[in-house]
């Protein structure tokens, strides 16, 4: 069971569950926003999302067997504790379950067209694992966009069907907040994906992938990360100044748990030289992502503009 949980990246899935629940119960409901999903339906949306995400993690591991023998030989699951055949079967079962639940949910809320979102996510995760991750930056961008979409999908299912002429302005304000968090998730995940490519350069090179560090070299790729780090940092600083300056609790949280760690990663990137350093940076981005999502709990203290 523990090997299966590691195979589907249970910690990442828990973060996905957390952010979707926070959007529903910490952002939308406390402000009386008109929503479409009841408790059962939001549970189904979360279940569909994590099933498809888990399937994506499995197919990714199946296609990474060769590189994992070099990059992380002590963490290999497929081909060791779980056979490749079993992994494929799990991939199919989880995908069918996720897409099937998505179909049912789309019908239940009277928006059958929303079903296509689950199909698109499922297909893109497969194409990413089998092809796109080997291409220069495209794979990094696609997987980061899918992470952002896992946040936006709550707004799509909760806010859009409940929007009318009378509440359009309020609905738009909260959908924009969700988009802001999705953009944050996209930018942080993109940085983490590139850092992971630098960390895994040896195995990726043997597998003939064309990641950024392989295309331009480890040192130049590190310089790219050093520059890109400042974009989310500056954006969050400006967001804090323009939206939260009258809320000392929120300002303190952002400074201590988001801006501070981001500034640390900016500095640490310059001195990173080995696999251990880049692995540490990858973990830092994950922590920043977590605290960024937890900031949704602060919105009851913030006056939305």
pLDDT along the chain (305 residues), means of 10: 88 96 95 94 97 96 82 80 92 97 96 96 95 91 96 97 91 95 97 95 85 93 94 94 84 95 94 93 96 92 56
Note the pLDDT of residue 305.
Answer: 46
- Residue-wise DSSP of 10-64: HHHHHHHHHHHHHIIIIIIGGGT---S--HHHHHHHHHHHHHHHHHHHHHHHHHT
In terms of Cα–Cα distance, which of 172, 179, 173 is closest to 154? 179
Collapse the DSSP code of 82 into the 3-class scheme (helix H, G, I; strand E, B; otherwise coil) and give the result. strand
In terms of Cα–Cα distance, which of 185, 190, 204 is closest to 135? 204
Note the pLDDT of residue 246.
Answer: 80
Range of the domain at 40: 2-301
Question: pTM for the whole thing?
Answer: 0.93
How many domains in the chain? 1
Collapse the DSSP code of 101 into the 3-class scheme (helix H, G, I; strand E, B; otherwise coil) and give the result. helix
Q: What is the rounded CA–CA span in Å between residue 270 and residue 265? A: 9
Residue 147 in contact with residue 181, Cβ under 8 Å?
no
Q: What is the rounded CA–CA span in Å between residue 77 and residue 145? A: 27
Cβ neighbours for 112, distance < 8 A, ≥ 6 positions apart: 106
Note the pLDDT of residue 301.
Answer: 67
């Amino acid at each position: 069971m523990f090997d299966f949980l590691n195979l589907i990246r249970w910690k990442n899935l828990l973060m996905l569950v957390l952010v979707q629940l926070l959007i529903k119960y910490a952002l939308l409901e406390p402000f009386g926003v008109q929503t479409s999903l009841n408790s059962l339906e939001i549970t189904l949306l979360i279940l569909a999302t994590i099933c498809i995400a888990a399937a994506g993690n499995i197919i990714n591991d199946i296609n990474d067997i060769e590189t994992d023998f070099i990059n992380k030989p002590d963490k290999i699951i497929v081909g060791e504790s779980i056979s490749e055949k079993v992994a494929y079967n799990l991939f199919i079962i989880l995908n069918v379950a996720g897409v099937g639940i998505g179909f049912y949910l789309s019908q239940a809320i009277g928006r059958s067209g929303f079903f296509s979102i689950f199909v698109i996510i499922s297909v893109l995760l497969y194409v990413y694992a089998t092809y796109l991750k080997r291409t220069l930056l495209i794979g990094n961008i696609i997987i980061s966009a899918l992470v952002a979409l896992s946040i936006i999908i709550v707004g799509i299912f909760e806010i859009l069907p409940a929007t009318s002429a009378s509440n359009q302005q309020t609905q738009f304000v909260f959908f924009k907040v969700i988009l802001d968090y999705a953009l944050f998730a996209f930018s942080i995940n993109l940085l983490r994906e590139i850092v992971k490519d630098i960390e895994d350069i040896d195995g990726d090179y043997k597998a003939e992938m064309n990641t950024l560090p392989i295309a331009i070299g480890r040192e130049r790729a590190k310089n790219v990360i050093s520059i890109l780090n400042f974009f989310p940092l500056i954006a969050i600083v400006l967001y804090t100044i323009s939206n939260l300056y009258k809320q000392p609790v929120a300002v303190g949280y952002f400074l201590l748990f988001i801006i501070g760690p981001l500034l640390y990663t900016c500095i640490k990137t310059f001195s990173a030289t080995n696999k251990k350093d880049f692995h540490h940076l990858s973990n830092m981005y994950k922590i920043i992502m977590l605290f960024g999502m937890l900031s949704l709990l602060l919105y009851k203290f913030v006056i939305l503009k």
